[in-house]
Amino acid sequence: MRSRSILKFVLPLLVIAVAFGSFWLLKGSKPDREKPEVKEKVWQVDVMLAVKQNISPELTLYGRVESPELLNAAAPGSGVISQVLVQDGTQVKQGDILVSMDQRDFTSVMVQARSDLTSIRNQIIELKIRHRSNRAALKTERELLNLANANVQRMLKLKQQNLGTDSAVNDARSALGRQQLSVISRELEVKSFNIKKSNLETERNRQVARLNDAQLMIDRSEVIAPFNAIISSTPVSIGDRVSTGQTLVSLYPINGLEIRAHVPARYVNSIQQAITAGEQHYALVSTASGILQLQLIRLAGEAEASGIDAFFRSGDSSHDFRPGSLLSLNFGLPEQSELVAIPYQAIYGDSRVYLLKQGRLVAVNVESVGQYLKPDGSAALLIRSNKISENDQIVVTHLPNAVDGLKVRLFK
């Protein structure tokens, strides 16, 4: 009974021991295998040799056609439109009649102004005649005053000699007083001549100005093109009644159009320095008649954080620009040194390229300066970096997984 209990306890242990022994025996008899060698993937790329040059970068700008010399011809007064000889977009020559108003609305004002002016001129003539008469009369009045004064003295002497009466003396004194008042009144007329004349001349000048205004209204009732121009708008029609200052026609000179384009902030300083130095800068724009050259004439008076507006103008009137048109300009920046022209696919994030050194990529931070059109017509990006030397190999194959140290090799 006891041996059966011992066997029942030992047998499981024996089975476990045999199992472990078999496991280790099998593990020890396992043949050794060589570990696979991990090979680093090599990417194939194309390269170009870095060549540093003095190049004028080119910048693509987007501009809008504007007309700073837009002329709005307004009605000189209230009246009726009698003629409209142009339409929107009509090209006119200097001296062409564009819009006319009925002149009868202005002739009555002119007739009244002429009548008032004639009346004032006649008053001035009358005043001068009266002045000559007053001067002559004043001389006589003064002589009569002396006689009246002498008569008073004679009456006083007669009274002292008991030959005259008090009433005679009083009558003589009354006559003297009346004559003194007459002299004072006449002197006032003579002295006030210049003031009255000045007032009438002022009124005459006012009437002359009124007459000139009336004539000017008649002249301006017929709108004539002051230069070769294109009609922008004609907001009136024949028979319309317009008020003073209402626009009759809008036009702009053919050669007066400008293109406003926004220049990014990082290019503003170099452009401003070049303008200050007296350099001329141009932009090219493609039109229906071919490539047109535009000259940079000025920069805007106010800048923004993003840059500044530049204004371009062409001396060629053969183009068909219209205000409001949007244009793409290829603008030449001032020449810069130590620039390298690379394909656009060689740049990563606008600020990094990769060099090929000892079979691996080497990341280099660069400054993007602008673009450049090669003689074959293809576009290249201009970069600058003091970490790129002449004839360095720049990787031009764009790798989506490009990192510093990536192993690469040239295409065979």
Check residue 84 and give its pLDDT. 92
Check residue 353 and give its pLDDT. 92
Q: Cα–chain-centroid distance for residue 11?
A: 107
350-396 tens-digit pLDDT: 789 999 998 899 999 998 888 887 766 678 888 989 899 898 999 99
Check residue 27 and give its pLDDT. 63
Q: Which residues of the chain have pLDDT under 50?
A: none
Query: In a 10 Å sphere around its CB, with 0-12 CB exposed, 13-18 middle and 19+ buried, how is residue 277 labelled?
Result: exposed
Check residue 362 and give its pLDDT. 92
CATH class of 71-102+229-251: mainly beta
Check residue 98 and give its pLDDT. 92
The pTM is what?
0.57
Check residue 267 and give its pLDDT. 83
CATH class of 37-56+336-412: mainly beta
Pair of tokens at residue 393 = 């190999």
Query: Nearest-CA neighbor of 327 among 65, 96, 72?
Result: 65
Domain 57-67+257-334 CATH superfamily: Efflux pump adaptor protein, beta barrel domain (2.40.30.170)
